[in-house]
Chain A
Amino acid sequence: MTAWEPVIGIETHVELQTESKMFCGCPVDFGDEPNTAVCPVCLALPGALPVVNEEAIEGILSIGDSLNCTLTETSLFYRKNYFYPDLPKNFQISQYTFPLCVDGHIEVDVDGEAVRIGITRVHMEEDTGKSLHQGDTGRIHGADTTLLDFNRAGVPLVEIVSEPDIRSADEARAYGAELQRVVRTLGVSDAKLEEGSMRFDANVSIRPAGSETLGTRTEVKNVNSLRSLHRAIDFEIERQIEVLDGGGVVDQETRHWNEGSGVTTAMRSKEESEDYRYFQEPDLLPLFIDEEWRRRVHSRRPELPADKRARFSDLGADTQTAALLVDSPELATLYEGAIAGGADPRTIGIWLTGEVVAYLRRHETTIEATGIGAADLIELAAMTSENSLSATAAKEVLGGVLAGEGNPEAVAQARDLLLISDTGEIESAVDAVLGENDDAVQKIRGGDMKPVGFLVGQVMQATGGRADPKIVQELVRAKATDSQ
């Protein structure tokens, strides 16, 4: 059996949430009644002309900069020609040679390992309208009628093309998730996969491990979540392996991912694929991005997810905690506050990734709604390190704080969870237990230490778990051997 290596490249489309559309003044708003956010330009009425939206250019440049791309000084728009009812001009204004951003890369974390994925290009284009096909198939072929909504037509769309550097479905998902984080951090798009404001197409091929040449690729479309990106790529890799192992050949074609059945099916082959007859858009001048503009974009670059991860791990967070904090600014604020207040990073990390996340999920609520603050965590951490609270009790107190029962001290008091600091009280409890278990005491005295654990357990039970087990153990050992 040949060992196969998958080679994957991903094309990502991101809708920018700008004030107005890419080439006209219509608002970018998805809640509107169909065909209300339209004008002569985005409906392609005769005589209408496009004008570039600078806000969208700022947006794409910030994406390109964040992906370590070179920002092109003189960039060109092209017409990509194809007929489709939801494409009003029957050509899409896009980019071809000289896209706005080229030659970048991004580092993604795959199970704690950093993987670098090249970015070929990031270019600007416009979105299409939406077709609603009425009929059994839900697709244009076989539809009885099709309704068209042009509110989305002309919304700024950024296409991010990766190098074929991705080697597994896991890497693909990590790449997609990281892009989503970057775009959200920049604030240029909500990047919602389920709503289509971020969309993936995956180019998948396989080759014998160690080979330098590329196999025939297929393009997988209709992937609407990170999970389906992972599933679709896994399926496609397996499918291609099966084909090649069976002596067949992979056809270069576009394949449609079917979420329900979990398979990809052929849409159109390369022979049927269209010739887009690209040529430079004569209605738009070349875009000039001067040195100053490029510098300005770079100087406005916010702290990116990767930078955050690095910063949190410098603060002592483990990989899992750092990843969580990058995805949740609220938790990140809590974490940073607690660490600044001297709390132990490991303890805080365990609480946030454990109790806190579980609580938020269970109650479908937010940090803000619970009212918990960094001060609570600092106080709680201090109580544990001062041995006034056990680790288990601390988690319970945390639950109480999240539930709005008060600060840690108050919760611990109310729930009677504070450890017994009075050794006299513990001593008398030990004495009582030893007195009731003479057999065990005799064994210990004879050199058999096994019953110590049992006796400690009895004392803990008697004190309602509020005694420090270490002290209990010491006392049990000492008293069992000493008491003649």
Chain B
Amino acid sequence: MLLRHTPKEITPRNALTINPAKTCQPIGAMYAALGIHNCLPHSHGSQGCCAYHRSCLTRHYNDPIMSATSSFTEGASVFGGQANLLDAFTNIFSLYNPDIVAVNTTCLSEVIGDDMVQIIKKAYDEKKIPAGKVVIHASTPSFKGSHVTGYANMTAAMVSYFAKSTGKKNGKVTLIPSFIEPSDMSEIKHLAEELGVKYIMYPDTSDVVNGPMDGKFHMYPKGGCHKEDIEASGDSIASFAIGKLGAYSAAKLLDTQCKVPFKVVDLPIGISATDDFVDALRKVAGTAVPESLRKERGQLVDALCDMNQYTYGKKVSLVGDPDVLLGMVRFCRDAGMKVLHVVTGTPPTGMKFEQHIKEICGEDVIVHSGLQVDMFLFHQLVQQNKPDLIMGNSYCKYICRDMDIPLLRIGFPIYDRIGQSYVPIMGYRGGMHLLLKVLDIFMDRQDRDAAEENVELIM
């Protein structure tokens, strides 16, 4: 047994986190920054933070993840990181020539108290930042929130640094996705395009971290939202925060700063959540749902009804990040599955997370979130009430192997399979992929476990 020391009985813990169901803020900020075109993320802290974040994202995407670091040593930690950051700007702009550098802080630079606004101003004053180039920053100490809030903070920084209102609306809708896969960002754009909605989307990591192999290395791949578009989002007619925890701060700030009204929607996973998103988007933009989307939707409904007996009543336990979990439980309920457990290590501050999950799944569902809520606890819960399926990141495989439960890899990080960056789970087409995966799992199990006389040719 790989997790032989995890007892079934739950004892309260107030200090020790075991096998976390979250990671730290800076990695989320780095990921968000990759969603700006021609932008180099920069980690203001020790080398290790940047190395770990790049490694983690690289293993998840199997694509280059570029970021620079302030490479703090003991001296910088005592005297402050200003000199390091100023040097960093000189080296970055001369060697890597980005248009934008997006700096995220770390626990180290936050504890020292580096004043980022002052340092960046000094860098402009001393011409360390060449004309036409821009530096933005987000405060992302690792001792607060999680990777999802780090993503939210960097996304809000995009608004704060760039979004401008000229007083003249441009007729576009701004789409702000939470920490999701590039494939899903593409799918959200596809929905908007089919609806005929003119949109601006940021962050947009599609065509950045899922680029093709073309025999060249592109330091700044062709994807990513252009700075001019982020600026123009200040003139958009409305914005959508798609996934509350990851996108609300940016949408709210866009409202405060540029008077762009916003709407918060769940991530469009499954039929009902995608319907909600499409319906809301069509109303804001004043467009009709085209035949193409009706067909995508109709096919998904068709598949769901045709195969409902294989998902209906199946028990499922989920661990991951709040926004994705909310979307996933909606999909599970669409398919008639019974959700047993929903666990996240991210403190879903201000989200009414538990309430929202219970509204979708009913009062019986067990929901845990926040400090000392981790995969150790998740494993204990699963031991107490064994599900037919676990949905979560790659670390779930140890639980699944010990308990012989199938795993659907959803969330972050996924180190041991590929596909999440290419194949969406959102929108109607993504819903079809997701449903097919779930069906394959349940039906393969049925084929494997059925008594010989009960093996069915036709299913």
Say if A and B assemble together.
no
Chain A residues at the B interface, C-beta cutoff of 8 Å: none
List B residues at the A interface (Cβ < 8 Å). none
